[in-house]
A and B are shown apart, each in its own frame.
Chain A
Amino acid sequence: MRSLHIFIARIRGLFGRSSTERDLAEELAAHLDMAAAEYERRGLDPVEARRRALLDAGSLTAAADAWRDQHGFVRVESFVRTVRQAFRNVCHAPAFAAIAVLTLALGIGLATAVFTVADGMALRRLPVKDQSRLVVMWASTKDGRFSNYPVDHADLFVHQSQAIREAGYFAWFGSAPIAVRDGGSVFRLRRALVSGEFFDVLGARAFLGRTLEPADDKPGAAPVAVISYRTWQRRLGGAPDILGRRLPLFDGSRTYTVVGVMPPGLAYPANTEFWAPIATSLPEVTRSQIGFDVIGRLAPGATVADAAAELSAFFSRPQASVYVHNLRAVVHTLPDLVLGNMKPALVAFALAAALLLLITCVNVANLLLVRGLGRVREIALRLALGAGRQRIVMQLVMENLILAIAGGIAGLAVAWGALRLFIAIAPTGTPRLDEITLNGTALLAGVGITTIAILVFGVLPAFMSARVDPQEVLRSGAQPGFSRAHRRFSELLVGVEVALALVVLSAAALIGRSLVNLERAPLGFDADHLLVADLAFRADMLETLTETNAELEALMPKLAALPGVVAASPVVADPFSGPAVWSGRLAKDGQSEAEAASNPRVNMELVDTGYFAAMRMPILQGRKFTAADREGAPGAIIIGDSTASLYWPGETPIGKRVVLNAEHAVTFTVVGVVPDVRYRALRDAMPSVYFAMRQSVFAAGPASLVVRTVGPPDDVVPTLRRTIEQGAPGIGLASAIPFTTLLDEPLGEPRLDAFLLGVFAAAAVLLCAIGVFGVTGATVRQRTRELGVRTALGATAQQLIALVARRGLSICVVGLGAGIGGALLANRLLTSLLYGVTPWDTLTLTGACAIVLVTAIAAMLFPALGAARVDAVRALRAE
């Protein structure tokens, strides 16, 4: 086994002292000495003898190289040397290196940073164990009309289920705001009622303290609660001594002790701010009445469909009521529920990040290609001088690795900086941005992909030069290798870059225009100087709805009389809470119930006389509510503009009569018409109907206030709080937020989308410009001789510029053409994010084309002007 012999010998060569390089030098020196001595013996003088000996011996370096290749392991031995040489080569072309590193830094950095933000907002793992195996289960009616029924006897189902291994349950409404006291302040926190196994099922660990345990969920146990990280930071000041803090409910029913803080990112179900066990949070009577959703972990091998089948079977069990027999199982995985609605934006960001990386790769590839073609001559020369091809490939790999590493490090710096910047200037209300740290996977992916591209294109010249005959290169002064095909390929890459930049830019422009449209959409009321307050009611002092409403009513004149307050009114729906809060159908006078069932659904609202003044909604027709619209008086309603046109198209709505429905067979007369508002949803002005609070026939009443102020809304909060405390001891002010602040919530995501895509687009266009600049510049350099000849033959500066620019422009135009096609395809994905603009909006596309074109022309300008300055004599002599 000779190979083993060699291997051992090489290992010894690496470490042993038996035959070092010094030995070789000595051996070669001895050889020379002996050869020279022989020549001397033949009568030559010593100097000539030595010269002849050297000539005979041949290249010392080649011998040493060949010897080293044989000795030890080349890679290890020559590594340092290769690195040093590579560094030197990189530094020889500082402009190229700078542009390449800058490109990489921008591409990798921004793609990573933006993807980190998008990922942090939506894609990120929940802090639970194996999230894709977690399912949440409830019921819908078989006709699908009601889709959110709790599971009756969830505990029974959990007990007998096979498809899910561990399971718990939580109150079906998810989480509901409840007023708590912390020291002197009162605020509402969203409370989720969960069974004791809830956190065990999730596999979630407490960030501080402990999670809820089955022992906490026993009647008679001490009431404990765990809070979300966000609640701890935002509402409770991030106090380090939070464990053991007492959290009394405002209604005085119980006081929770905080035993744990959950990790950032966990707020299930439905933006929960704190979790409390069911048994210690509800009286026993209520507990048996309330329904639950089931949360479970799929057993190994079980699927979502298995779990659904099992729950459906549970509904049709003989003991269940007829009503339950008619239910159908609904099963979703937890990530689908929590992260589902962010998907369109996320897809857009992931695609944009991928495009940006692609542009980066194309850009760097092109730079390397152009530089590599310029180096074919150098490489051919080195091959001719006896360098091994393997060594040259190693050298190129090393050079490009240095670029890739430098680019990666710079990319990391850019990503870090950009992320800081995003967090600093991101719109307030951007969810979870404060919890974001740089995404390592995205960074690695970015660096990895670009490194592969760099290596592939960086080493290419070594193989291209393989086809070059060194003699040919050395003889002719021409640029070898830079054939028409190569130039075409390089130009194709620039075209691709232009196309991709256009795709990203047009997407960003569409999102940007959507944001502008959304911000400019008329609200229907005046959001400035408008305060929205949450109220809390003490169950021990205000026992019935009538009492509560009476107390609210009595409070209103006192509030309206406060200095700085113009008007105030109670209101049911929170801003941007959607139509689901309270909506219904009106029956026109004389319509049967069946006929009324097909009437359009309208948002319902219950307000006091000061409401329209507080909102500053103009009365378009008729009148506003007055103190006379009270119990005993004929029922009055005020309707929105589109309600009028939907119910009574072409007629005057004033004086029309509606019947609420069979349940409350009460007749109301339309007394006024107001504009449609975007109070419940910013994207849509919805038809609505307003009832007077004093004529309420409903089972629930308002729990919020709208207050119109003279100055900044925040200024009146202290007096407002004091007045409420003194004037209505059963009512507490839980929170008071200016409407303009609340607007940040629905605008937050569109603003962030627009901002991030804007950053992407800017980077894409910039990279594209760098690409155009680099390639045009290289083309001019490579054509210097030709340009010189042209100058010598009398070409004017303009003609030279035109020569260079025409080529560049046609590439851009072709690229833009392809880009328009790509944009039309890609922008469809954005449809659900757009507002007031179509994915194929001509103006946007034209504008984006113009921006890319102008940028490309600007990038071409410098090299083209350089072409005009080519000095004929010098260009020709340079050869």
Chain B
Amino acid sequence: MNKLDVQQGTLVLMVLRTLDVLGPLHGYGIARRIEETSRQQLTLNYGTLYPALLKLEQEGYVKGEWRQSENNRRARYYALTKAGRKRLEREADQWARTSTIMSWFLHPDAESP
């Protein structure tokens, strides 16, 4: 089965949610977690992940910090900020509604809630 590219706009939400669940994490950890959570349906490459992290940091939703990793390597850890948590709440809610609506469109026969 072909793997999917991460859709525009969804990555931010995934990153924020990952950090919300797991606490401060480095880029590799975030990528692995997203791939696992998606049951290997998604792949993340550098080109998408790191610019997104930088953008989130510039916008003040996450905060990056150099720390020692579990295997004693220096790595940059990202943590959710207060603004990031707020955004997560807002967007998670929005996304849930959007995906429900989308499924109504795409599967009109399915049971409506």
Q: Which residue numbers of A lie inside 8 Å of B, CB to CB?
A: 2, 5-6, 9-10, 13, 19, 23-24, 26-28, 30-31, 33-35, 37-38, 56-60, 62-63, 65-67, 69-71
B58 x A5 contact (CB < 8 A): yes
The CB with the most chain A CB atoms within 10 A, among B47, B55, B76, is that of B47
CB closest chain-B residue, reference A26:
B74
B91 CB to closest chain A CB (Å) equals 14
The CB with the most chain A CB atoms within 10 A, among B26, B28, B45, B71, is that of B28
Let me know if B80 is at the binding interface, CB within 8 A.
Answer: no
Among B37-55, those with CB < 8 Å from A are: 43, 45-48, 50-51, 54-55
Which of A10, A13, A56 contacts B45, CB < 8 Å? A56
Let me know if B69 is at the binding interface, CB within 8 A.
Answer: yes
B5 CB to closest chain A CB (Å) equals 11
B31 x A31 contact (CB < 8 A): yes
Q: A6-B59, A58-B47 are in contact. Are A31 and B54 (CB under 8 A)?
A: no
Which of B43, B47, B57, B76 contacts A30, CB < 8 Å? B76
B54 x A71 contact (CB < 8 A): yes
Which of B47, B55, B71, B76 contacts A27, CB < 8 Å? B76
Q: A5-B60, A57-B46 are in contact. Are A70 and B55 (CB under 8 A)?
A: yes
B50 x A34 contact (CB < 8 A): no
A62 x B58 contact (CB < 8 A): no
A877 CB to closest chain B CB (Å) equals 38
Which of B46, B64, B76 contacts A63, CB < 8 Å? B46
A30 x B58 contact (CB < 8 A): no
Identify 7 new A-B residue pairs, CB closer than 8 A, beyond the known A34-B29, A66-B50: A13-B58, A27-B27, A30-B28, A30-B74, A31-B31, A34-B73, A59-B45
Let me know if B11 is at the binding interface, CB within 8 A.
Answer: no
| Chain B interface residue number, banded | 20 to 34
B75 x A30 contact (CB < 8 A): yes
Which of A6, A27, A60 contacts B75, CB < 8 Å? A27
CB closest chain-B residue, reference A53:
B28
Residues of A within 8 A of B55 (CB): 6, 70
The CB with the most chain B CB atoms within 10 A, among A13, A23, A37, A70, is that of A70
B21 CB to closest chain A CB (Å) equals 19
Residues of B within 8 A of A19 (CB): 54, 57, 64
A6 CB to closest chain B CB (Å) equals 5
Q: A30-B75, A56-B43, A57-B45 are in contact. Are A6 and B51 (CB under 8 A)?
A: no
Alpha-carbon distance between A63 and B69 when the two chains are bound, in angstroms: 22
Alpha-carbon distance between A30 and B76 when the two chains are bound, in angstroms: 9
A-B contact pairs, 12 of them (CB 8 A): A6-B59, A19-B57, A27-B27, A34-B28, A38-B32, A57-B46, A59-B47, A62-B47, A63-B51, A66-B48, A66-B51, A67-B54
Residues of A within 8 A of B54 (CB): 19, 67, 70-71
A37 x B75 contact (CB < 8 A): no
A33 x B45 contact (CB < 8 A): no
Q: A27-B27, A28-B50, A67-B51 are in contact. Are A34 and B75 (CB under 8 A)?
A: yes
Query: What 0/1 pattern do residues 55 to 82 of B give for CB contact below 8 A with A?
Result: 1011110001000010101111000000
B60 x A69 contact (CB < 8 A): no
Alpha-carbon distance between A66 and B48 when the two chains are bound, in angstroms: 8
B4 CB to closest chain A CB (Å) equals 15
Q: Top 7 nearest A-B pairs by Cβ distance?
A: A58-B45, A63-B46, A9-B58, A63-B47, A34-B28, A66-B51, A62-B47
CB closest chain-A residue, reference B71:
A37
Residues of B within 8 A of A69 (CB): 51
Alpha-carbon distance between A530 and B93 when the two chains are bound, in angstroms: 107
A70 x B75 contact (CB < 8 A): no
CB closest chain-B residue, reference A58:
B45
Residues of B within 8 A of A35 (CB): 28
Which of A28, A33, A56, A60 contacts B73, CB < 8 Å? A33
A60 x B46 contact (CB < 8 A): yes
Alpha-carbon distance between A10 and B57 when the two chains are bound, in angstroms: 11
CB closest chain-A residue, reference B26:
A30
Residues of B within 8 A of A60 (CB): 46
Alpha-carbon distance between A13 and B71 when the two chains are bound, in angstroms: 29
CB closest chain-A residue, reference B70:
A34
Alpha-carbon distance between A63 and B51 when the two chains are bound, in angstroms: 7
Alpha-carbon distance between A26 and B71 when the two chains are bound, in angstroms: 16
Alpha-carbon distance between A611 and B43 when the two chains are bound, in angstroms: 109
CB closest chain-A residue, reference B27:
A31
Residues of A within 8 A of B58 (CB): 5-6, 9-10, 13, 70
B28 x A63 contact (CB < 8 A): no
Which of A6, A9, A33, A67 contacts B50, CB < 8 Å? A67
B84 CB to closest chain A CB (Å) equals 12
Q: A27-B50, A35-B28 are in contact. Are A2 and B60 (CB under 8 A)?
A: yes
